[in-house]
Structure 1
Amino acid sequence: MHPFFERGDIMGRSVANEGFIRALLRRDPFAAYHFYLSDAHQTRILLERLRDEFPVMLRNGRFVLGTYADVPRALATHDFHCFHLSDCMLHNAHLARLRNLHSRRIFPITGSTHSLSYARYMPMLLGQVWAGTSQRDAVLATSHAAVSMMETAFSRLRSAYGLPASVPHPRVEHVPLGIDCATLSCTAGSDTVSQTAASRDESAAAVARARMRTQLGVEEQDVLLLVFARISHYSKMDILPLLRALQRLARSGVPMRRLHLCVAGFLPQGDSTPQTLAGLASVLGVRMHVRANPPDAERNELYAAADVFVSPVDNLQETFGLSLLEAAASGLPVIASDFDGYRDLVVHGQTGLLIPTLGPAWTDDADTMANLAYDSATHLALAQRTVVDVGALADALRQLVESPALRRDMGQKGRARVTAAFGWDTVLDQYLACWERLNAVPVSAEGEQALRAAVHPLHMPYAELFVQYPSAIVEGAMQVVWTAAGEAVYRNREQPVIYEGIAASVDPETLRHMLFLARRGIPVARLCALLAERGGQASSSGSRTDSRTHEALVLWALKHDFLERV
């Protein structure tokens, strides 16, 4: 129900989602892949992307594309292995209710975590604690810190609302993100075949390193520190403590003339952050370069040019840390804050150095303002209470600045670890294994019956709440008969106008059959039952619900003068 190929600003979420779906489709472990998006426009955009990247699969009919309105019929028609969503917040519970009503089997519904710190997410998590959640449903937390956060959030919501253990929430499984190491090669897209891939990459990396360092004015004997992230103190990291750590190095006698800092990443147009940072860096004696919004090729050259990767992240918006994997895959030692998912990615003392952090014990003021303030304001306020130890950061920088051998050793170990554990091929194995485990979780007949009967407490019961709005409510005993216009539609002398937004619920053939059944007058309840019987929809989701779904078609026909009350 998500496109996975996302447009807009370059964010970790969009990079991760594209990497996942691309890896899945290249592996191609399933017979077909279904995408149901918000509207036809989004579907067309995705279709073009699939045509560009997976034309053979598209020609062979391996993709099914539709809109949300197509989901109920698809659930009743296809035997899905699982539904995986690119986000674990928005649609999980709502899709679960649709599955419970329409699907022939209770398949797993999963979604991956990304940023978890938005205040609006707590009501969304509460919505996942309900009787229609199956034990096959799961949140796939990308880091151990995210596992802890999700479990704590569900526990707190249960306690606050007095929800018993019998009301389930999705299980929380740890499945990390991955990277495509091939896209980080400075020879990506090269057609050269005269050398082995390894030697070609090494040669291209050396050329890229020299070229970028020349552009930056970095001599070969100099040390280039690279920060690659969204350039934002309110949604990613505060660079100022890093500048203070470099100031400490200068005071301790480290020759700053041989030290360069490059800050690169996404920057909104018109943002003055680089000028502010550059001004302070100049005052502190730090030689800083800013590369805003670099394309992938330039990103790869920056990784090749750098000697040390630094990421002193302090923001709760961060959950995983793809840039750390990219840097390590490029052979760089990593200095990172001991924070959130970062500690899953850096082996302290082997592939890099983790810097201790200190967080707040009390956030009531921010908690109470978070739903009123902009997310960026909340994240900034909390980040300014998250301390990355400046002294420890300075010590880590000194170790790697002064030791080329240590940089080389950590870089080699980091590259080996990322290649073995975080390449998308390896990570995809974990996704596939997780879906198999979830499908193997038993669901008893009694449990399945309870799932199918569950009504989500946060779903708007429109008929009940708005019962006083119309003059009367349709009743099963109400008699209807076709009109002259209805007979004309049945005999194909007239074509009904069906708006795009309701096309999924007004099938022309079903409409004609309904009009035929009503040619001599028939009770609404009987008419709906016959339509359900014709459609073969008396399934495990319950014949009453199935027959009542045709009430909408009856009312539509009454509205457009194809039926009338007797």
Structure 2
Amino acid sequence: MDAKVPANELQSFDHTDRLFAIAGIPDAFVAVDGRKFGRRSAGSGFLEAVCRYCDKEEYALAVVSDADLQLLHFAMSQYEGSSPSLNSFRLGDQSALARSGALFVPSPSVRDYVWTRRLHSQDAYSLVGITHTIATLQATPMLCNFFIEPFEPWDALICTSEAAKRAIQNQHANYLEYLEERGISAPNPRIQLPVIPLGVHCDQFERSEDRKKNALKFRDERGIGEDDVVLLSFGRIDPAAKAHPVPLYIAAELAQIELGTEQKIHLVMAGTVPGGKAIENEIRQAAKCFAPDLSVFWVDGSDDRLCETVWHAADIFVSLSDNIQESFGLTPVEAMAAGLPCVVSDWNGYKETVVDRETGFRIPTLMPDIASGIGSNLANRYCSFNDNEVMYLYGVSQVTAVDVGKCAEAIMILAADKDLRQRMGAAALRRVETHFSWEKIIPQYRELLAELGDVRRRSQLSDTLPRTGGCIRPDLADPLRMFGDYPTAKVDFDRQVVTSKTYLPKMLEDLSKQPMCTLTMQGMTDPRSMRLIINSALQQPQSINELCRLLPQSSPAKVMSTCMWLAKYGILEFQEART
């Protein structure tokens, strides 16, 4: 249940022209545990873009708690040159969400919000999620639920790449086959799947004089010569969930052998290694084993200063992603913003960011055909508790091949030609400025939200109230319906109550002091009305209908709940209804 946010922190508003609200989930935007890569890097970039390029009256934060709001406001205050909005309200406030027009959820997990929306109406506002990983059992069931959950054409799951969109469509086709096998006819999901890429703030990668000095210092301290070539791998170093490092080691070693002593190559591995010291040691030992002729330098991903420096100390960016957990891949875009040519695997979103032989090289990748049965075996082991998520992702990665020879060739070509590196780097920067700058991407969000709003306003939705026994979720039935056969009898509004002969006024006072007896009192009448019920039933039996007429300011449900509560603790007794 949502925690209440103090009124002095939340800014109420009556405007109806806001473009959207942001689900203020700190973990999606702020590296509270120090891990800044992946979805948090993307989330932080988006939040900063909103602060920079949206009018502060265009959006609001929808938060669960005051602590979340303060954490987000602090993060937003750190964004240079931005003017963040102070508009905020409780995430469960459906009226405020309706006035906002849309709720942006910084993940693909939008299903809880689509059910909650029914408290108001299904056309109250649009829901907009965004893909991150869509490969695991945390994500795929949500994608399949698009068939049966109350999503509408004015809702959207933003796909960060065409590759991610096709993956979702493939999953939908697979699930539709299952439904047909079960004799279930299902329409296509109503939710839209627009493609809007992630972005970067180009000014954060500019080669300022200070950054150039720091880059030279980085190289000098490590004995990297002026004409030496530095390969940079940047991001989470995770063979299970990002990119297996050994193919990179092998390719770089092959390139160094071919180039000989005339051209020295160095490899910088910048990032964090999840999984503890054992896996980190294994990754480092593998570098010594498979790239013995290379100088390999390790940069801690939590060191902001060094992570900023390595972009400008490097000559070539390399990322051989081979993992289905990746759906876009932000680091090549960051590398291009730093003016680096890229050598990347021809994989997922990389296909759409790096232009082969223009901004770098895309290295061919291979997977087995589905007829091999390898994929279904891996999926079945994962689903049947034989493999965990890590082993599943590892398993798919181990049968995904990146062409090591072609990668070595691309590294050699770039290492041997400084002019080519500069031309490709300049083309890469131009491409980012044109296609992947947040300044260019935020208008795409604005256009999408406006389009969804138009669709919603044109809708002719009539069944705004749920028809599942009054409950917003059909998979959580009214407990009085689901468990209606548990009690001896049910109480309707014709049932009479009488005050117990053993009732003493002190009983009500004593009960009010017991938290375990008063935990859900918000669903009942006020104390004055409660005493009025007791006194009325003391004089003569009263039906609950009669008590409702006696207390017109209280809803029938509150009167019924109060009578049940008083009966629970022996203050009232139920009699048979009068005939």
Whether the 8 Å CA contact 1:529–1:547 is kept in 2: the answer is no
Q: 2:112 matched to which residue of 1?
A: 94
Change beyond 3 A, Cα 1:294–1:442: closer
Q: 2:102 matched to which residue of 1?
A: 82
Q: 2:299 matched to which residue of 1?
A: 291
1: distance between equivalents of 2:95 and 2:136? 31
Whether the 8 Å CA contact 2:121–2:465 is kept in 1: the answer is no
Within the alignment, does 1:225 sit opposite 2:231 as a pair?
yes
Q: 1:49 matched to which residue of 2?
A: 72
Instruction: Return the offset for 1:327.
Output: 1.1
Instruction: Return the offset for 1:348.
Output: 1.3
Instruction: Return the offset for 1:125.
Output: 2.4
Change beyond 3 A, Cα 1:204–1:159: same
The one-character-per-residue Cα deviations of 1:505-558 (angstroms, maximum 9, x if unpaired) are 8168x5347537745356557878999x858xxxxxxxxxx9769866765565
Q: Which amino acid aligns with 2:226?
A: E
Whether the 8 Å CA contact 2:60–2:89 is kept in 1: the answer is yes
Instruction: Return the offset for 1:166.
Output: 4.0
- Compare 145-154 and 299-308 and name the one that shifted more: 145-154
Within the alignment, does 1:465 sit opposite 2:491 as a pair?
no
Q: Which amino acid aligns with 1:242?
A: L
Structure 2 gaps, min length 5: 1-22
Within the alignment, does 1:19 sit opposite 2:45 as a pair?
yes
Whether the 8 Å CA contact 1:482–1:515 is kept in 2: the answer is no
Q: 2:377 matched to which residue of 1?
A: 365
Whether the 8 Å CA contact 2:98–2:124 is kept in 1: the answer is no
Change beyond 3 A, Cα 1:501–1:262: farther
The equivalent position to 2:196 in structure 1, one of 170, 175, 196, is 175
Instruction: Return the offset for 1:320.
Output: 0.9
Q: 2:87 matched to which residue of 1?
A: 62
Q: Which amino acid aligns with 1:396?
A: A
2: distance between equivalents of 1:168 and 1:123? 14
Q: 2:345 matched to which residue of 1?
A: 337
Percent identical residues: 24
Instruction: Return the offset for 1:267.
Output: 1.6
After superposition, residues 366-385 of structure 1 pair within 5 angstroms as 366-371=378-383, 372=385, 373-385=387-399
2: distance between equivalents of 1:25 and 1:554? 51
Whether the 8 Å CA contact 1:10–1:266 is kept in 2: the answer is no
Change beyond 3 A, Cα 1:501–1:413: farther
2: distance between equivalents of 1:485 and 1:112? 58
The equivalent position to 2:362 in structure 1, one of 332, 354, 363, is 354
The equivalent position to 1:114 in structure 2, one of 132, 136, 150, is 132
Q: Which amino acid aligns with 1:395?
A: E
What TM-score, normalized to structure 1? 0.81
Q: Which amino acid aligns with 2:432?
A: V
Q: 1:396 matched to which residue of 2?
A: 410
Q: Which amino acid aligns with 1:110?
A: V
Instruction: Return the offset for 1:248.
Output: 2.3
1: distance between equivalents of 2:478 and 2:141? 18
Q: SS of the counterpart of 2:99?
A: coil
Within the alignment, does 1:279 sit opposite 2:303 as a pair?
no
After superposition, residues 162-241 of structure 1 pair within 5 angstroms as 162=180, 163-166=184-187, 168-185=189-206, 201-241=207-247
Q: 2:530 matched to which residue of 1?
A: 515
Q: How many residues align?
A: 526
The equivalent position to 2:453 in structure 1, one of 410, 420, 439, is 439
Instruction: Return the offset for 1:330.
Output: 1.0
The equivalent position to 1:386 in structure 2, one of 376, 383, 400, is 400
The equivalent position to 1:423 in structure 2, one of 406, 421, 437, is 437
Q: Which amino acid aligns with 2:380?
A: T
Q: 1:33 matched to which residue of 2?
A: 60
Q: 2:12 matched to which residue of 1?
A: none
The one-character-per-residue Cα deviations of 1:124-182 (angstroms, maximum 9, x if unpaired) are 22333226221111111111111111122223222311343547442211122122233
After superposition, residues 477-516 of structure 1 pair within 5 angstroms as 477-479=494-496, 506=522, 511-512=526-527, 515=530
Within the alignment, does 1:300 sit opposite 2:308 as a pair?
yes
1: distance between equivalents of 2:399 and 2:549? 62
2: distance between equivalents of 1:104 and 1:534? 29
Change beyond 3 A, Cα 1:515–1:213: same
Within the alignment, does 1:322 sit opposite 2:342 as a pair?
no
Instruction: Return the offset for 1:477.
Output: 3.2
Change beyond 3 A, Cα 1:213–1:150: same
Q: Which amino acid aligns with 2:476?
A: H
Q: 2:29 matched to which residue of 1?
A: 5
1: distance between equivalents of 2:558 and 2:149? 22
Q: 1:190 matched to which residue of 2?
A: none
What TM-score, normalized to structure 2? 0.79
Q: 2:255 matched to which residue of 1?
A: 249
Change beyond 3 A, Cα 1:100–1:210: same
Structure 1 gaps, min length 5: 186-200, 536-545
Q: CA RMSD in A?
A: 3.8
Q: SS of the counterpart of 1:64?
A: strand
Whether the 8 Å CA contact 1:141–1:175 is kept in 2: the answer is yes
Rg larger for? 2
Q: Which amino acid aligns with 1:63?
A: S
Instruction: Return the offset for 1:560.
Output: 6.3
Q: SS of the counterpart of 1:263?
A: strand
Q: Which amino acid aligns with 1:84?
A: F
Whether the 8 Å CA contact 2:263–2:415 is kept in 1: the answer is no
2: distance between equivalents of 1:55 and 1:260? 35
Q: Which amino acid aligns with 2:377?
A: D
The one-character-per-residue Cα deviations of 1:493-515 (angstroms, maximum 9, x if unpaired) are 99666689967x8168x534753
2: distance between equivalents of 1:212 and 1:86? 36
Q: Which amino acid aligns with 1:28?
A: D
2: distance between equivalents of 1:335 and 1:556? 69
Whether the 8 Å CA contact 1:87–1:112 is kept in 2: the answer is yes
Whether the 8 Å CA contact 1:335–1:396 is kept in 2: the answer is yes
Change beyond 3 A, Cα 1:466–1:391: same
2: distance between equivalents of 1:339 and 1:526? 70
Change beyond 3 A, Cα 1:420–1:511: farther
